[in-house]
Amino acid sequence: MLFIYDTVAELQKAAMRYSHEGEDFWKGAAGCFQPKFTVAYKKNKVTKKYEPVRTRKTSFIGVMRLCVPHLTREVIIHESVHAAINLVRASVLDVEFDLHDETGIYEEALAFATQHISETLIRAIKPVDATRWKAIPA
């Protein structure tokens, strides 16, 4: 699910309503991806083994929030990385997915690295076929 807000303040207000993090957490946020997918491990009555089970039934993996003043390739790519990570988590029913830590630093580092690599590639490719990038502001 994608929401695009007119202002950063509107985005931050919506993100706060959706999450348990406080106002300070969202200061400076110009975009975000808030996952809907969670998993718990429950004991199978037949096999007696713990198996991953979705704890939220939903047809989407989360909510991406963007705002017009920061609707750039960089922000779109960055938030798309968070969405992709959560798509993999939902697909394999594994919240840990090797990037999980309590602070989210690993996932954030991957998103920033992907953002910079992708932007470098986009800038290198852009002169070759500028018509492809007209929909996204430079």
Indicate whether 129 belongs to any domain: yes
Query: Using CA atoms, how far apart are residues 57 and 55, in angstroms rounded to an integer?
Result: 7
CB 75 within 8 A of CB 137: no
Question: What pTM was estimated for this model as a whole?
Answer: 0.64
CB 62 within 8 A of CB 1: yes
Indicate whether 22 belongs to any domain: yes
> For residue range 55-74, what is the model confidence (pLDDT) as tens digits?
655 667 788 899 999 988 88
Indicate whether 97 belongs to any domain: yes
- The number of domains in the chain is 1
Say what the pLDDT of residue 10 is: 95
CB 42 within 8 A of CB 32: no
> For residue range 116-129, what is the model confidence (pLDDT) as tens digits?
878 876 776 665 44
Indicate whether 99 belongs to any domain: yes
Q: Which domain holds residue 91?
A: 2-133
Nearest residue to 73 via CA among 15, 13, 132, 27 = 132
> For residue range 77-132, what is the model confidence (pLDDT) as tens digits?
898 888 888 777 776 665 555 665 666 777 787 888 788 878 876 776 665 444 54
Indicate whether 64 belongs to any domain: yes
Indicate whether 138 belongs to any domain: no
Rounded to 5 degrees, φ, ψ at 111 are -65, -45
Indicate whether 30 belongs to any domain: yes
The pair of structure tokens assigned to 117 is 């690599």
Say what the pLDDT of residue 5 is: 93
Indicate whether 68 belongs to any domain: yes
